[in-house]
Amino acid sequence: MTIHPMESRYGRDAVRSIFDEEKRLELMLEVEAALARAHAKVGNIPEKDAVAISKAMKGVKIERVKEIEAEINHDVMALVKALAELSGDSGSYVHLGATSNDITDTALALQLKEFVEFLSEDLVNLKGVLLNLAKKHKATVCVGRTHAQHSIPTTYGLKFAIFASEVQRHMDRLDETKPRILVGKMSGAVGTQASFGKKGIEIQELVMNDLGINAAMVSNQVIQRDRHAEFLLLLALVAQSMNKIATEIRNLQRTEIAEVSEGFGKKQVGSSTMPHKRNPIIAERICGLTRVIKADAMASLDNIPLWHERDLTNSSCERVIIPEACVLTDYVLNLSINLLENLVFDKDNIEKNLNLSQGRIMAESLMIKMVEKGVGRQEAHEMLRKDAMKSHEAGIPFKDVLLNDKKVMKHLSEKELTSALDPKNYTGTAKEQVDRILKELG
């Protein structure tokens, strides 16, 4: 029986498996084995005992660990006992000097190390899709919107180039964050390493080198939670960028706009009661799930101020929010890739919307042209503002109003007016900016 939709509906199996019980147990056992090997290297225990513990870890079963935990009510100690049972006489050296969080925090770093590989791949793939769209639609002119109102022309290529550059920033942030989050520790009960003796620092370095992660420079009983909060905040940033893209697509798919829409399968059903519906369900799912990821990040901030050398308030919280945020972020990224790869563009509606304001979106273009002709900027702005309002209120084309405005036409020929009113002539450096993004990020 499953309860959380992430177990059956949202998420990819390969990513979910990183955070399941069996994987967590496996990684905790790897940490215990690495600790035994480190003790052997510094001469604290015989080499044969480290070998025996490393071999025994492969035989530990989660059923036995749970059986012991049911008796003693401590998950890490249950693992220690299960491993010691299979290690024979060497079992007395299992978990030597360690506290529970030496094992769990280090195992968590190993989980995140695996997850980051998926996250990196997702971001690279997403950026590639956005760059392809930017290139394909470099010359697709559309109306720009500010305050949800028509403003001046832009291009779909520029839209996608902006999204791609945002994804690149997330990739940069991830690279910068890795050294701070892929960190383990062997510091004992309060961080003094007293239980490891004078070779505590060396033991910690040996364990982390063995596992392929960084060692915390200093810690108390836990790795400080600002590290994990930073990572979840990064996931929230990534998620909100997907929210942003999906929200843009949802708006552009509105019946009244209908410039862009999700792909719709031949047998897909949009509504259980309205046969005609073609709902943007993928984009809406993205927007909905990003709220959960954001909430997880907010919860992670509350895990930073633990009492004294640590309390347990972060533990139960993190068992929920870290797997949830990771699995859902990966899922949302892959949904976004699917959404973008299957976008449908309606060029007729794009063109129709460009002309919906009867040319008024070109008022700025005309203002700039009049300034070039020697008219003061403020004067030109006021002249065109009045004509634009007249066009709007009377419901007549902007060009017709302008042609009848002698103050305007004494500065412009009809040919110049027609050219300045053409949206395709007023996209500035949009193409060049897209080319630069393609060159820099491609």
**How far apart are alpha carbons 442 and 436 in whole angstroms?**
10
**How far apart are alpha carbons 8 and 5 in whole angstroms?**
5
**How far apart are alpha carbons 413 and 126 in whole angstroms?**
47
| Strand pairing report for 183-184 and 141-146 | unpaired
CA 253 to chain centre: 23
273 Cβ partners below 8 Å, 6+ apart? none
| SS3 label, residue 149 | strand
Catalytic-role residue among 87, 271, 357, 411: 271
211 Cβ partners below 8 Å, 6+ apart? 30, 31, 34, 106, 110, 184
Catalytic-role residue among 147, 272, 276, 308: 147
* Cα→Cα distances 289→6, 126, 231, 252, 328, Å: 10, 18, 18, 20, 7
| Phi, psi (deg, nearest 5) at residue 57 | -60, -30
Active site (annotated) includes residue 147: yes
* Cα distance between the two ends of the chain: 45
Active site (annotated) includes residue 271: yes
Residues known to be catalytic: 147, 271
